[in-house]
Amino acid sequence: MTIHCYRLEPNDDLKAKLAQICSEKNIQAACIVSSVGSLKKLKLRLANSKTFLEKTENFEIISLNGTISVHGIHLHASVSDEQGHVFGGHLMDQNMIYTTCELVILELPNFSFTREMDSATGFKELKVGKI
């Protein structure tokens, strides 16, 4: 296994930066092991919905987890606002870093994560392969 550690900077797009990392490192399968930081713009798809929660204010990243690869990214995030209210959902593009985001990514050798349309769910779902 390989560990990748990064610090994202202000105004980075969290999901786009992860896609860039996967591309640069040719990551076939990995997961987020740790994340901490802040956002100034939030965009999440809410559970079992086509509705998005979009807010422009400062948030603390409470958690970020999921699977990533050059073939697709599936992440869920939870954040808290200045009053401690927590929001969570499916991470979309345009989640912009406020001050920082410290990421630890665990790359899984000998595996590949691809995405295939699943007619039962209507989504591109994870397909785990062996390399």
Rg, the chain, Cα only: 15
Summarised one tens digit per residue, pLDDT across range 69-124 is 999 999 999 999 999 999 999 999 999 999 999 999 999 999 999 999 999 998 89
Number of domains, the chain = 1
Q: Identify whether 51 is part of a domain.
A: no
Please, which pLDDT band fits residue 16 given cuts at 50, 70 and 90?
A: very high
| Confidence at 5, pLDDT banded by 50, 70, 90 | very high
The average pLDDT across 43-55 equals 95
**How far apart (Å, rounded) are the C-alpha atoms in residues 59 and 107?**
27
Q: What is the CATH number of the domain that holds 93?
A: 3.30.1330.80
**Predicted pLDDT of residue 48:** 87
Residue showing tokens 């990421």: 103
pLDDT of residue 22: 98
Tell how strand 30-45 and strand 96-107 pair up.
antiparallel
pTM of the full structure? 0.94
Rounded Cα distance between 131 and 129, Å, is 7
pLDDT (tens digit, 9 = 90+) per residue, 55-84? Answer: 999 999 999 999 999 999 999 999 999 999
Question: Closest by alpha carbon to 98, among 20, 15, 40, 35?
Answer: 40
Within-domain flag for 54: no
Please state, in angstroms and rounded to a whole number, the distance separating the CA atoms of residues 94 and 79.
Answer: 15
The pLDDT, as a whole number, for residue 28 is 98
Domain-embedded: residue 127: no
Mean pLDDT of 9-36: 98
- Structural domain of residue 83, as residue ranges? 2-46+60-115
pLDDT at position 2, please?
96
